Chain A
Amino acid sequence: DSGVTQTPKHLITATGQRVTLRCSPRSGDLSVYWYQQSLDQGLQFLIQYYNGEERAKGNILERFSAQQFPDLHSELNLSSLELGDSALYFCASSTRVFSTDTQYFGPGTRLTVL
């Protein structure tokens, strides 16, 4: 158990819909990262937040957005969903933003878009 929690575990929705994925980082961690894992693209970094502020963006679509709240939990919002958005979404957390900091991953949310 990494200490990172993600809800829900599974999500099934239809094309065009909007969903919100939630992540609670390990106690004391200030940095949160979101990743997408699909069969064809592998594991890809989407976005990072540190202490409430956006720090870095990866391959995140404009239809996706995220935020980190004062209690440090984070939410990833996916809108206008397409079939290709079906994937595993992982959240990770680390203590700070040093590149040598270990990232601790949650168990993931499996999103299925029908």
Chain B
Amino acid sequence: DAKTTQPNSMESNEEEPVHLPCNHSTISGTDYIHWYRQLPSQGPEYVIHGLTSNVNNRMASLAIAEDRKSSTLILHRATLRDAAVYYCMTRMYSGGGADGLTFGKGTHLIIQP
């Protein structure tokens, strides 16, 4: 799994879009990009994952750079409930050898009302 780099913290205002960046310059061709988040006093929660194309789901969008060396998690309209630590990680595709997730320090997202 490639090493990822994220800002320690970011601040945004409620109901505004938030763009959370992640660098993964050593990513290999079969590595997927995953995002999880951890709300205060809760276990981590899956947000989104992708390989090459941009991905959308009900929680967020994932924009992946053409060279795949970076990606951005987009929360289209942040609410106070989105305040959490967001973790970006890469995972080599495996059909039978997958193991635990490797969490870095993540980005602490602060939402101002």
Contact = CB atoms under 8 A, between A and B. Distances in A.
B102 interface: yes
A113 interface: no
Contact of A99 (B36, B46, B87, B98): B98
Interface string B8-42: 00000000000000000000000010001010001
Contacts of B94: 97-99
A56 B43 CA distance: 21
A4 B94 CA distance: 24
Count class of interface residues, chain A:
20 to 34
A101 B91 CA distance: 11
Contacts, number: 74
Prevailing SS type, chain A contact patch:
strand
Contact of B99 (A55, A90, A106): A55
B49 interface: yes
Interface in A67-114: 90, 92, 97-108
Contacts of A103: 36, 44, 46, 101
Count class of interface residues, chain B:
20 to 34
B4 to A, nearest CB: 13
Interface string A31-65: 00101000000111111100000011110000000
A44 B105 CA distance: 11
A108 B96 CA distance: 26
Interface of A: 2, 4, 33, 35, 42-48, 55-58, 90, 92, 97-108
User: Which A-B residue pairs are the 4 nearest by beta carbons?
Assistant: A45-B100, A56-B99, A105-B43, A99-B98
